[in-house]
Amino acid sequence: IDKTAPVIDTASFKILYNNEEVHYFSGPITGAKASVEVEGSDIATVTMDLSSIKESYPVRNANCNNGLCILNNVEIDLSSGGDYEIIINATDNLGNSRVESIYYNFIFDDEEPVPSPIKTNHLDSNGNSYLGSINNTIILEIEEAGVGFNNRYVYLDLRNINNNQNARADECIKES
């Protein structure tokens, strides 16, 4: 008689958004996914209770393939950071069931990036930046104490120089 319940690997639990693990947030997130690994040869259902990260969120069935169970279209709507309880229930075809609680940490990031004054690769004798007629490099340093920022969303408005309203950065270098 099989009385062995599936094994939920609580350390494997993740919430992903755009294929990046979510821990920092600054507002509601929609379209995330939750995943966890579950061991067992005859898994019937794996459910996730995410009501702690979005009020009135229903318990939902995850889709499992080769032990990896994924719940798509996860919504996160929190007012503060902290540890939030996620409840996972795995049941096999014979009715053996295991429930695990996972405490997933979220950090609320309410600090905006702070840009420094713009510099260039050309300096006068007093150390002031200026634009030359050719070979200009514009440098902007951004301090970000929170989660960081995505390089794809770093733009400069250069309309007064060359009619380029949204000039994307050619290169971003992270300094620690």
**Separation of alpha carbons 149 and 18, rounded Å:** 14
**Separation of alpha carbons 35 and 68, rounded Å:** 7
Indicate if the pLDDT at residue 42 is higher than 80.
Answer: yes
Is the Cβ–Cβ distance between 15 and 76 less than 8 Å? yes
pTM for the full predicted model: 0.70
Indicate if the pLDDT at residue 21 is higher than 80.
Answer: yes
What pLDDT score was predicted for residue 105?
95
Residue type, 67: G
Buried b (16+ CB within 10 A) or exposed e, 126-162: eeeeeeeeeeeebeeeeeeeebeeeeeebebeeeeee
What pLDDT score was predicted for residue 30?
94
Is the Cβ–Cβ distance between 163 and 157 less than 8 Å? no
What pLDDT score was predicted for residue 175?
75
